[in-house]
């Protein structure tokens, strides 16, 4: 058993095209467990941190605008964590290649993605690329209390009167 967790984002184009149900139905083929889900309004800071490894690319600025929903008038994404055997590989297979024109036609990106005239790949979903990236991304998008299993070490801190969990 090689259990892993993957961060999935249904990107603003997916929400605008009403593809949430379709994408979740496709992902349910994996028989993985959803262990976290929330709607997120994406700040510029979160967008830039999420895509930090691409910050030197010419399309970085447009990519940050895209994930913030500025190109689709949908200023939100749906963030989920899928967990189970080979989660990353299974979810990336279903998502298909980054470039929707090269993606296998029945994959999620092959079915629903497009390339804008500006050259950005609007490819409906994000899936973490490997376990290291998945851990970094999941800790960025979720607090320990928002995930129903203990994926990574956390600790309790006092915030005024109440105790909250943060990543270690
Ligand atoms: N992207 C793009 N043009 C490129 C490469 C990437 O518009 O030439 C966008 C696309 O939306 C992609 C995201 O940037 O999903 C992140 O790129 P990455 O290389 O991490 O691909 P992914 O892991 O999403 O398949
Ligand atoms: Mg990636």
**pLDDT tens sequence across 103-124:** 999 999 999 999 999 999 999 9
| Residues contacting residue 160 through CB under 8 Å, at least 6 positions apart | none
Domain range for 66: 3-167
| 3 state DSSP class of 158 | strand
Instruction: Provide the pLDDT for residue 85.
Output: 98
Nearest C-alpha to atom 19 of ligand 1 is from which residue? 98
**What is residue 160's predicted lDDT score, i.e. its pLDDT?**
94
What pLDDT was estimated at residue 1? 79
- The set of residues, in sequence order, having a beta carbon less than 8 Å from that of 10 and lying 6+ positions away, is 19, 20, 23, 77, 78, 80, 124, 125
Taking phi first (over 0 means left), then psi (-120 to 50 degrees means alpha), and beta for anything else, what does residue 118 get?
Answer: alpha
Number of structural domains found in the chain: 1
Cα–Cα distance, 72 to 23 (Å, whole number): 18
Ligand 1 pocket, CB under 6 A: 54, 59, 63, 98, 120-121, 123, 126, 129
Q: What is the pLDDT of residue 47?
A: 98
Closest-CA residue, ligand 1 atom 21, reads 98
What are the backbone dihedrals phi and psi of residue 3, each rounded to the nearest 5 degrees, phi first?
Answer: -75, 140
Residues in the chain, pLDDT under 50 = none
CATH at residue 154: 3.30.70.141
pLDDT of residue 13: 98
Cα 7 from Cα 11, distance rounded (Å)? 12
- From 150, 148, 149, 146, select the one nearest 164 (Cα to Cα): 146
For residue 120, the ligand 1 atom closest to its alpha carbon is: 7
Give the atom of ligand 1 at the shortest distance from the alpha carbon of 123: 11
């Amino acid at each position: 058993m090689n259990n892993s967790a993957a961060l999935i984002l249904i990107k603003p184009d997916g929400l605008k095209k009403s593809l949430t149900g379709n994408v979740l139905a496709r992902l349910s083929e994996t028989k993985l467990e959803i262990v976290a889900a929330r709607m997120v309004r994406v700040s510029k800071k979160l967008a830039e941190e999420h895509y930090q490894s691409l910050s030197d690319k010419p399309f970085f600025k447009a990519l940050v605008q895209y994930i913030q929903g500025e190109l689709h008038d949908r200023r939100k994404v749906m963030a989920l964590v899928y967990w189970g055997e080979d989660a990353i590989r299974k979810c990336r297979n279903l998502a298909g290649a980054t470039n929707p024109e090269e993606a296998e036609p029945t994959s999620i990106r092959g079915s629903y993605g497009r390339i804008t005239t500006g050259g950005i790949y609007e490819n409906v979903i994000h899936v973490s690329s490997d376990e290291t990236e998945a851990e970094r991304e999941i800790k960025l998008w979720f607090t320990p209390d928002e995930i129903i299993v203990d994926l990574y070490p956390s600790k309790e801190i006092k915030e005024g009167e109440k105790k909250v969990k943060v990543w270690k």
